[in-house]
Amino acid sequence: MENLKNWDVVIVGGGIVGAATMYKLQTRFPKLRLLLLEKEKALADHQTGHNSGVIHSGIYYKPGSSKARNCVKGRRELVAFAKDHRIKHDICGKLIVATKAEELPRLEKIFSTGMANGIEDMERVSAAQIKEIEPFCVGIEGVRVGCTGIIDFRGATEKMAEIALGINSHSSVNLNEEFLGVEQQGEVSIVRTSKATYNTRYAIFCGGLQSDRLAKKDGAEVKERIVGFRGDYYDLTPAGKHKVKHLIYPVPDPRFPFLGVHFTRMTDGSIECGPNAVFTFKREGYGKTDFDMKDTLDALSYGGTWKLFMKNMSYGINEYRRAFSKRLFLKTLCTLIPSLTMEDIEPGRAGVRAMLLGRDGAMVDDFRIERRGDHIHVLNAPSPAATACLAIGEQIVDMAVEQLKIGQ
């Protein structure tokens, strides 16, 4: 690989959205010289590599929203991609289970949303049918979603970048290289990194947990702020693994911006339980006591963070208690699988999700992609962004073609 200083497009961020954008852009425009910058030593090292590995169906998202459209379209394309390129995956299906009568109207609404979004292989199931699918699960009614499953998102990310590099040998993926800033001079953008300075015609930012900071470094005005929430997982031990066969989810509580603690069978055969959701004092911190002064000040000096805390005080306290108590975590898991014991679970890994939070304390729910000059910023790409990555990548390329006239 020759050491080029001039590029057609620089993509900042080597998560699955950045890699999918590179893949889509290189596929459509084979002659463009693309540079993907990632500050870590490997691709997919943060949200992509620390999420639950679930291929989401699109059943939860408001019909007509960017999330709904991109998730359904992206899921189908991602599964085809996994089949074509032998990415580890399994379309095992999942159950969304109601355990109380008060959850039934919400379950019905989820099913109706799935129908409106065109989700295939989906049906209502009775308590008896729940037992047939998941013998240890207890519920009064449920929804079976057959088109969802699990995937190795790290493997998918690496394959997308590999294919792009195979199309054009002059493109490059630079690891261990942090983006520092950018200046636009006429039709050229000067990108500064921890290792070099590059000239590029266009820049695309897919920064995930750092998306608001990258936008500000580009001079963009972002009214909202990214606030990180850590999710802790437990694993089922060999003694407990037989109690879960597929994916099992509770009916989410609409008062809170998370899907609730669930069971996920991973591609390596292990079973994860979780996550909870607690405010993290470090955006890229995966330990319970991880701390970063800048991240903490950024979050706690922002009014939107405190408004979110006040709106969800009791929920937040319960989540923190559960983060440090195996017994309380088990109690939550037993809502769906009552026979689980302390010996059936052991502490697992953790992930951090980026929430773009408004000044009023409300989470920006939908995907948000904006243009600034010859640059495109993915400002908000929460779950199901990994599932939707190929559709998001295509949307970014379409935007670059239509608004920036890229490739013309």
Report the C-alpha gap between 47 and 16 in whole angstroms.
9
Other beta carbons within 10 Å of 226: 25
**Residue 191: enclosing H or E segment and its boundaries?**
strand 188-193
Give exposure, 292-305, as e/b (b: 16+ Cβ within 10 Å): beebeebbeebebb
pLDDT band at 3 (very low <50, low <70, confident <90, very high): very low
Residue matched to tokens 């040998």: 169
Report the C-alpha gap between 166 and 162 in whole angstroms.
6
pLDDT of residue 198: 97
Q: Tell me: the pLDDT tens digits for 55-92? A: 999 999 999 999 999 999 999 999 999 999 999 999 99
The mean per-residue pLDDT over the stretch 5-14 comes to 96
Structural domains of the chain sorted by starting position, each given as residue range(s) with its CATH number in brackets:
6-48+154-224+365-404 (3.50.50.60), 94-146 (no CATH), 225-246+253-363 (3.30.9)
Q: Tell me: the pLDDT tens digits for 68-78? A: 999 999 999 99
Residue matched to tokens 């266009």: 202
pLDDT band at 277 (very low <50, low <70, confident <90, very high): confident
* 208 φψ region: left (φ > 0), alpha (ψ -120 to 50), beta (else): left
Number of Cα atoms under 13 Å in the Cβ half of residue 163: 19
Q: Tell me: the pLDDT tens digits for 321-368? A: 888 899 999 999 999 999 999 999 999 999 999 999 999 999 998 999
CB distance 171 to 150 below 8 Å? no
Is the whole-model pTM more than 0.85? Answer: yes
The mean per-residue pLDDT over the stretch 25-32 comes to 98
CA separation (Å) from 250 to 42, 71, 94, 340?
Answer: 34, 20, 11, 16
CA dihedral 104, 151, 49, 255 (to 10 degrees): -10
Q: Tell me: the pLDDT tens digits for 296-305? A: 999 999 999 9
Report the C-alpha gap between 337 and 148 in whole angstroms.
21
Other beta carbons within 10 Å of 13: 27
CA separation (Å) from 346 to 238, 249, 326, 330, 355?
Answer: 10, 19, 8, 10, 28
- The overall average pLDDT reported for the chain is 94
CA separation (Å) from 255 to 39, 308, 362, 363, 406?
Answer: 36, 12, 11, 12, 42
